[in-house]
Each structure stands twice: as C-alpha cells, then as structure tokens.
Amino acid sequence: MRLDTLETGRKVRVVRINRGIKAAQQLTEMGIIPGVELELLAKHPLRGPIVIKLGNTRIALGRRLAGSIEVE
Amino acid sequence: MKAILVGNPNVGKSYVLNRLTGSRVFVSNYPGTSVETNRGLLTIGKKSIEMLDMPGIYSLYSDTKEAAMLREVLEQSPDLVIQVLDAVNLERNLVLTLELMERNLPLVLLLNQVDRARQLGLKIDSKALSRHLNVPVFPFSAVTGEGVLDLLEQLDKGVARSKEVQIIAWHDQVCQGCDGCSAEAVQSLASVDMKRFEQARILANKTIMQLDQVQLNWLDRIQNAVDHPLWGTIALLVLAYLSFMVLLHFINLSEGPITTLLEPLNRVLSEIIMEILPPGIVAQVLSKAVPEGIIIPFTIVMPAMLMVSILMALLEDTGILPRYSVALERVGRIFGLSGQAVIPLTLGLGCRTPAVVATRILPNTTQRFIAVTLLSIVVPCAATLGIMASVLSQFQASFPVVVGSLLLAFLLLSFILGRMNPQQEEFIYELPPLRIPTWDNVWIKIKARFAGFFTEIMPLLLIMSIAIRAILESGVLEYVQEMGRVTQVVFGIPSEAFVAVLLTIFQRYLAPLLLLNLTLTPREATIAITMIIISLPCLPVMVMTIRELGWKALGKIIAMGFAASFLMGIVLNMILP
C-alpha cells in the first residue's frame, strides 16, 4: 500500500521507499525509514499535503513524496 | 575558547544561547528561525567561552548549505561541541549525536525541553544515556533554566573528547522479520548509514520510559483542530482576515488621537523655527518640514509597525505560521513555490529586509529568486501599510482597487515566475507543536522590530520631508508640468504624482509624503498609490538582495518592478471610470 492511498487515522509501518536517493535521504533525515511506525493524521484535499505523526513529531509531506512511501 | 551549538531544527538552540549568554537572538516556534550563525559570550569565573549558534540541521551529511557550513566548522576542531536535543524526540535527535561522535570532539548533550517531555509522560534516564555514550548529558530547559548550573559546572571542569561507541554490533543484530533491508531500500538509501538509525533506536529504547498514557490537554485539541484538512484551513484563513482587519482598524483608530496629542508640539516647533531663523525661504521650508517630518512617522507609520510586530510575534511563537505553509501548499504549487515560501512572505509584512534572508529556508535558488521578487514588488511592509491606509483615506481613494491590483500583480507575477521554475521540489516540513507565547519573548521581538522606527524611519522621513518641502517651495515642480500631458494620457495622474512614484526608488514609504502635499482626485490618488505600492525594493532590501542573490538578480527584480508598476498604472487608467 502507498501512504497517500490510506484513509486518515490509520497507523502503519513503513516497508520501503520507492524513490531516488535524494527523496529517500530527505525522508530518512526526518526519521521516515523502513521499519518505523507512523500515523496518518490528515490528508488535505485537492492533492494537498498529508500530515503524519511520527513519534512525537508532526511532519507535513507533499503528495508526490507521500506516494513513494510503501507501508503496511 | 570556542564552543558551537548544534542540533536539529527547532530544538531550541538559539533559546539555549540566549539563556547561557544573555544574548537577545530572535527565537520562534518554527524550524528555520535561525538561518545565520548567532554569537554570544559566556563567562564562567575566569574562563570566557565564545558560543556559536549554528542553523539547525537534520544530519551532518544533508545536501544543504547549512550542513556544509557546519562540517566546515567541525573541521576546524572547535574546543567544544554542545548538541541541543529535543527531549521529546530523542530517537531522531540521537542520529545526529552518533554522527558527531564519529568526529571525536569534546561533546556535551543538552536534553532540552525536558519539562515538556515530562508533561508528555516521558521519563528519560540521562545517566544511562551518558553511560552508554560516555559523554556528559544534562536534562535541560532553556525556558525554565533547569540544568543550567550543572552545565556551567561541567564547562568549568572541562570536557574530554568523545569516543566513537557502538551500542550493538551491526552484524550481530538479529533480523526480526521486517523486510526493511530488501534490496531496493538498501540501494536507495546507499548514501545514508542505516546503522546509526538502528543504534539511535536501541539507545532510545534503553533510556526512555513512557510512564503513562497522557491525557490530551486543550493545546493538543486545538492543534488537532488546526491540522484538520478542511476546518483547519478555513480557521487559518479566517484568522488571517481577522488579523488584517485588526491591523487596519488599529491604524484608523489611532491616527486621530495621536494627531491631537502631537498637534501642540507641531505648532510649538513651527513657531520656534520661525523665531530662530531669519525670515526667508529656509525658515519657510523648515517651519513646515520639520514638524511634518516628526509628526508623520508617529501618526501613520508607528501604529502599523506596532500592530504588525505584535501580530507577527504571536504567529511565530504559537507555531501557527508553519501551518499556513501546509494549508497554502496547493496554491503555492500553481505558482512554482513550495509551501515554505509562506514564511518569508509573511515576515515581509513586518519588514522585508530580514524576510529576504529568511528565504534561505527555501529548497533552491530559483525559488528564492521568486520569493525575493514577490517580496520586493508586491508585499507591502508595515511602514508601507501605514502610509497606504492614511493616504487612501485622505484622498478617498478606492481601497478595493488598490488591494485588488496588489493581489492581481502578486498572482500574475508569481504565475509568470512559476513558469520559469518547472522543476517540482518535494515538500517536507516538520510542524512544531503549538505553544503559548511567553510575554517576555513577544516583548523582545516587538522592541527589536520597532527599533527601526527610531533609527531608520524617523531620520529618513525627516530628511526627506525637508527635501520634498524644499522642492515644493522652490517651484521646481512647475518645470515638470510640461510632462503632465504625457503622464495624464498614459497613467491618468499629474506629473507631480508621477515624480512621487519615481521617488519610490529610494524608499517606498517616503513617496506618499509628496502625495500628501498635492491635490489629487480620488481616481488620481488610487492610481498613484497603486503604482507606488507595486514598485521597487527599498535600499536596505536592495543591499540584502545583492548579498543573498547577486547583482544580476537585483537588476532583474528592478526591471520587473518598473514594468509591473507602469503596466498596472496604464491598465488602471484604461479601466477606471
């Protein structure tokens, strides 16, 4: 499953990042790496950003970037 | 002795600097507040330590200027590295710790915001953390001052070099069935050392205990509401509208009383000048220009600057400001701007000079150029807003037309510039937790932002007021009246008003001084004010633009400013009845 296709409120685990090194590095720096658990807090309409909760932080991600995160 | 403060964005490095050295560096509640290195001096007994507060980074190996800058500073082996960690998000912060430890520099860890961690029910065993890493660790709170004495004691004693540690041997790690190591993932993360993440996770697990399930407090509830995709966005837009209305009403309401209050001073000044100076042109000019130059800043610039400073400080310190970057990301994308651009553009409403520096939080130079262009041409600063409001009411010019033209110019400009920047950047931004602003911090910011009123705006307005009065009294303007036919046909304004428009090249908020001395119809005033507001960067902004983006960029911005201003004047002249 891709992170951007989930509905709000789901808690998931990151499986892999299907993107190039640059995007993967941006995500990694924020702590979004395979194995971590996160919660989808909000999906802004009109393909707007999504907001996730990771540990005690909230991170906003563009839709394209979110689409490259595979979760289960 | 030199010590550097490092850490992830928005963990409170600048706050720690202020707490330790008594500096008054701006601190706000959003990642990217400090984009430049701040300095302060700490004295303990006979020891004096120069502290450098570096811009925040997520990793030493990030592909950003800030990370490169920090690597360079670390190469020069500073005497001490103090990492400020967010106690609430220890795991991610520890990744940077492990990166720093590989450099074997004297290192101290400050677990900042430990008071907030306690509120969230987190218990951190800092002694165990210190044991595992073999570096001094202090629970700390820059806000309450907790941990300051322990740190000072340690700094007085001196700090040994850190040694690289391994919490677990990587190859011994038993895989627990997660397929996080699948070939693609490992490949795509080749540049990043996954090892550190695993180490950080294990360290965090060993040292943090979640005491109990925390009850949502009211601040968390507001945060959830603000981050709601639909209601949150609506609430943010309403808030923006209300702030703008508060600002306008404040300007309108305060003008009367301030004028009444200063009126006697006005008359006394004028009389004194007439008494002292021999009668003639000089006395005539000064007796009018000096009182005007002193009163006008107070009546039309001060209220706007004051209110904008208050509103900005609240937006920054609550953590509301970055929420706008999420809500407006979709709008920005149409114009080739990432959501983060909201932050410098909003700061520009206060003063555009620091806002130009703040564009550093944008991901690339093209985006920075777009943001600086918009700041220079279509974002009115507080001083301009004050003047705009007062000149508008003086001439009964059309408020909707001026604001509408400004918005239209903003949209058109960003749309055209957006075409220049087809590359889409990924949007990723950490949202800070909402906080209640502390009165102290808000007050410091208001004072700092407002200082420019006395040091820059008052002297400039006084000098220009004298110059403009001299021009008016000397009758030079009669010579440009020949030009009047041309400006009337093209822009629909008299030549004197056009001169005022051209004067904006020096300082946008000076030009209306000249306008206030002219007799203009509402239509003429509307066009002239619009042309003034959509114009050029002021001198300080020009200097800053050269520093940040170079001469070429400034040249382009000035050309676009003239084009936008003149075009808007011509268009308004054609369509206004």
| A22–chain B nearest CA distance, Å | 9
pLDDT of res. B555: 92
DSSP H helix total and E strand total for chain A: 2, 5
Name the E strands within B382-477.
428-431
pLDDT of res. B503: 72
Taking CB atoms and an 8 Å cutoff, what residues of chain A touch B426? 23, 26, 62, 64-65
| B174–chain A nearest CA distance, Å | 14
Helix axes B302-318, B382-395, angle to 10 degrees: 140
Q: What is the mean pLDDT of residues B208-223?
A: 77
Residues 2-41 of A with CB under 8 A from B: 13-31, 33-35, 41
Percent of chain A past pLDDT 70, that is, above it, reads 100
Whether the per-residue pLDDT at B434 is higher than 80: the answer is yes
Question: What is the C-alpha separation between B414 and B396, in angstroms, rounded?
Answer: 30
Distance of CA B367 to the CA centre of its chain: 16
What letter does residue B411 receive in the DSSP assignment? Answer: H
CA closest to B9 among chain A residues: A30
8 Å CB contact between B451 and B52 = no
Q: What is the mean pLDDT of residues B156-178?
A: 61
Return the biggest CA–CA distance within chain A. 29
Q: CB contacts < 8 Å between A and B, how many?
A: 129
**Mean pLDDT lowest for which of B73-77, B231-235, B387-391, B528-532?**
B387-391
Residue identified by tokens 């289960």 is A72
Residue B70: which pLDDT band, with cuts at 50, 70 and 90?
very high
Question: What is the C-alpha separation between B377 and B384, in angstroms, rounded?
Answer: 12
Q: What is the pLDDT of chain B when averaged over all its residues?
A: 83
**Residue B214, SS3 per DSSP:** coil
Taking CB atoms and an 8 Å cutoff, what residues of chain B touch A45? 229-230
**What are residue B42's phi and psi, to 5 degrees?**
-115, 130
Other beta carbons within 10 angstroms of residue B74's beta carbon come to 18
pLDDT tens per residue, range B288-344: 888 878 887 887 778 877 888 888 889 889 988 888 888 888 888 777 777 888 888
Contact A47 B330 (CB under 8 A): yes
Check residues A12 and B182 and name the one with the higher pLDDT: A12
Domains located in chain A, CATH noted: 3-71 (2.30.30.90)
Four-way CATH pick for B2-210: 1.10.3720.10, 3.40.630.40, 3.40.50.2300, 3.40.50.300: 3.40.50.300
Taking CB atoms and an 8 Å cutoff, what residues of chain B touch A20? 188
Question: What is the C-alpha separation between B577 and B573, in angstroms, rounded?
Answer: 8
Question: What is the C-alpha separation between B198 and B196, in angstroms, rounded?
Answer: 5
pLDDT of res. B173: 41
Closest CA to B259 of B445, B155, B393: B393
Q: What is the mean pLDDT of residues B475-494?
A: 77
Query: Does residue B188 belong to the interface with chain A, where contact is any CB pair within 8 Å?
Result: yes
Residue B81: which pLDDT band, with cuts at 50, 70 and 90?
very high
Rg (C-alpha) for chain A, rounded Å, is: 11
Residue B188: which pLDDT band, with cuts at 50, 70 and 90?
very low
Whether the per-residue pLDDT at B509 is higher than 70: the answer is no
Closest CA to B76 of B36, B105, B99: B105
Check residues A35 and B215 and name the one with the higher pLDDT: A35
Q: What is the mean pLDDT of residues B258-274?
A: 86
Query: Does residue B116 belong to the interface with chain A, where contact is any CB pair within 8 Å?
Result: no
pLDDT of res. B246: 87
Distance of CA B10 to the CA centre of its chain: 14
**Mean pLDDT lowest for which of B242-246, B349-353, B401-405, B549-553?**
B349-353
Suggest the residue from B120, B186, B188 to mutate for an interface test with chain A (most A CBs closer than 10 A): B188
Percent of chain B past pLDDT 90, that is, above it, reads 21
pLDDT of res. B110: 95
Question: What is the C-alpha separation between A12 and B414, in angstroms, rounded?
Answer: 38
Residue identified by tokens 């407090």 is B217
Helix (H) or strand (E) holding B340: none
Domain with CATH 3.40.50.300 in chain B: 2-210
Contact A62 B189 (CB under 8 A): no
8 Å CB contact between B87 and B137 = no
Contact A31 B91 (CB under 8 A): yes
| Phi-psi category of residue B110: left, alpha or beta, with phi > 0 → left and psi -120 to 50 → alpha | beta
Suggest the residue from A3, A12, A29 to mutate for an interface test with chain B (most B CBs closer than 10 A): A29
Contact A58 B227 (CB under 8 A): yes
pLDDT of res. B423: 62
CB-nearest partner of A51 from B62, B184, B326: B326
Whether the per-residue pLDDT at B56 is higher than 90: the answer is yes
Whether the per-residue pLDDT at A20 is higher than 70: the answer is yes
Question: What is the C-alpha separation between B167 and B169, in angstroms, rounded?
Answer: 7
Alpha helices in B42-179 (DSSP H): 65-75, 90-101, 114-119, 126-133, 148-157
Residue B82: which pLDDT band, with cuts at 50, 70 and 90?
very high
ipTM here: 0.92
Q: What is the mean pLDDT of residues B341-370?
A: 83
| A5–chain B nearest CA distance, Å | 16
Q: What is the mean pLDDT of residues B367-385?
A: 86
Question: What is the C-alpha separation between B401 and B416, in angstroms, rounded?
Answer: 22
Question: What is the C-alpha separation between B480 and B27, in angstroms, rounded?
Answer: 50
Q: B577: buried, middle or exposed (CB in 10 Å: 19+, 13-18, 0-12)?
A: exposed
pLDDT of res. B252: 77
Check residues B9 and B189 and name the one with the higher pLDDT: B9
pLDDT tens per residue, range A45-65: 888 899 999 988 899 998 888
Across B129-138, B375-384, B495-504, the highest mean pLDDT is recorded for B129-138
pLDDT of res. B83: 96
Query: Does residue A1 belong to the interface with chain B, where contact is any CB pair within 8 Å?
Result: no
pLDDT tens per residue, range B143-153: 899 999 999 99
Strands B38-44 and B47-53: antiparallel
| A29–chain B nearest CA distance, Å | 6
